[in-house]
Amino acid sequence: MTPTLLTVILNYRTPAMTLQSAEAALAAMASTGGELVIVDNDSRDGSFEEIAAGLATADWARGKPVRLLRSGHNGGFGAGNNIGIRAELANGDAPEFVYILNSDAFPAPDAISRLLAHLRTNPQAGFAGSHIHGPEGDPHVTAFRFPSILSELEGAARFGPISRLLARHRVPLDLPEQAQRVDWLAGASMLMRRDVLERIGLFDETFFLYFEETDLCLRAARAGFETHYVPASRVAHIGSVSTGMKTWKKMPGYWYDSRWHYFVKNHGRGYAVAATLAHLAGGLLWRLRRVIQRKPPADPPGFLRGLILHDLRALFRRRPALAAPLAPTLRLKATPE
């Protein structure tokens, strides 16, 4: 029996590109079947109307199983994707697989079918992600180890002897040439088993942006499911179109929030403090080398100071007695327009 597939694309103020991504996704779904849901994440810039008009007039969308939803509010990457995942199939059935795709990502015609084939032949894998490359074919690093105290030191120090000593703790992985298990994947193109999501929950909506895929893959790993990188599945990705990360002049507060929440939630406050101290030690070493060796800056202005001040405030901030659920379930459905 052909597996049922739900593809989710989240739009935030990139309507033209979202339509291009949807066209590529529907072409890749020609061999897999399934339905496509586009969620406009409260863009408030006419995106919803532009996408609706595009879907109504484009030949590639005519007669295709595609729906457009409004999020109602911008809760971030995870919350927006959760709305699409909860939408389920148009007939109310639950899909067997859920595929999330960035609005600035364009799968090759066989990209989705290769991910499906991989999960069907590797039952121990709960998630599978694609080889992501730029428009000119340049590979993007999207396969990683889980962050740790030692990885914070290694990444902040940027010092060859330390990196060699802590090579097994370095977060970015050299991209594998063959399909293999990794700790976590960037969510630009990721296929997920529905039954795994039912067991571990959806994206933690406490994360506005960043670390939500890391947390989801860690929860899957702790539940006994693997995450696999599948280089035969290829997806072109422009990158940072919605977030504007390439033009950041300083790190936004939600990045600090997400990092702190990830460590506290998964390892405890003491571990989070140790991770920040490790980053501080590595960062000070890097800044000393910068002065001595006259190296150019590698962090956004004020990054290390912002990290320390943020985490000090977070450490002594009084936590609410009752916290909202961290891993939303699949029970609630979104309503299409």
Domain assignment present for 145 = no
Number of domains in the chain: 2
Ranges of the chain with pLDDT below 50:
242, 244, 321-326, 331-337
Show which of 243, 275, 294 is a domain's final residue. 243
pLDDT in tens, 71-83: 999 999 999 999 9
The verdict on 181 and 293 lying in the same domain is no
- DSSP code per residue over 3-27: PPEEEEEEESS-HHHHHHHHHHHHH
Distance (Å) of CA 231 to CA 96, 111, 132, 133, 202: 22, 10, 8, 10, 25
- Quote the domain boundaries for residue 263: 253-316
Domain assignment of residue 158, yes or no: no
Pair 133, 86 in one domain: yes
pLDDT in tens, 108-151: 999 999 999 999 999 999 999 999 999 999 999 999 999 999 99
CA 7 to chain centre: 15
Q: Convert 265-280 to b/e letters by CB count within 10 Å (16 or more is b).
A: bbbeeeebbbbbebbb
- In this structure, the answer to whether residues 257 and 110 fall within a common structural domain is no
Residues 229 and 289 in one domain: no
Give the whole-angstrom CA distance, residue 262 versus residue 266. 6
Do 181 and 100 reside in the same domain of the chain? Answer: yes
- Which CATH number do you get for residue 69? 3.90.550.10
